[in-house]
Amino acid sequence: MIDHRLRNIRLKDLFFVLLYGLVLPYVFGIVAGFADYYFSGMLPISIGAMLFWIIALYVGDAVRKQYEDPHLLYTIITGIGLVLTAVVIYTVPYVLTIAIANEESRLLVFHPAFYLMYATILFNPVNWVTAFSFSLLFWLLSIGIGTYLGVRKTTQRIF
């Protein structure tokens, strides 16, 4: 059973959940975004969704190993980290394309504020209506499924 009381949160567990639930997926997202950028240059398809699902399953499993008793806060932190990871994976190829075309610094890829700004624009429902496409629908469905898979892994018992 998932615990809901805030007094049962252990600081050591919370630290490792933040590390494995936010920092590790961010780094994996940048690496997967680079891989997606270079593979989509060779192949006419994007492998971002598949990479996100693999990362989500791994992160959910890794976060679950960091604590003894499941807590709702740990699950929420992991879910937020996975959604931001999906944004990073799908944004890195566009950022690299723009940076290469404008001959700007490629270090913009590592700046987390850029991804938060992109996420606020992307997850605005007004933009979904005004700029609807099946690609956007597939992308949102992919984020939902991957986040569900990763969050579900955090709540499973380890035997």
Tell me: pLDDT of 105 over 80: no
Query: Could you write out the three-class secondary structure of 44-80?
Result: CCCCHHHHHHHHHHHHHHHHHCCCCCCEHHHHHHHHH
Mean pLDDT to the nearest integer, 89-105: 82
Q: What CA–CA distance (Å, rounded) separates 11 from 46?
A: 39
- pLDDT in the model for residue 158: 63
Tell me: pLDDT of 28 over 80: yes
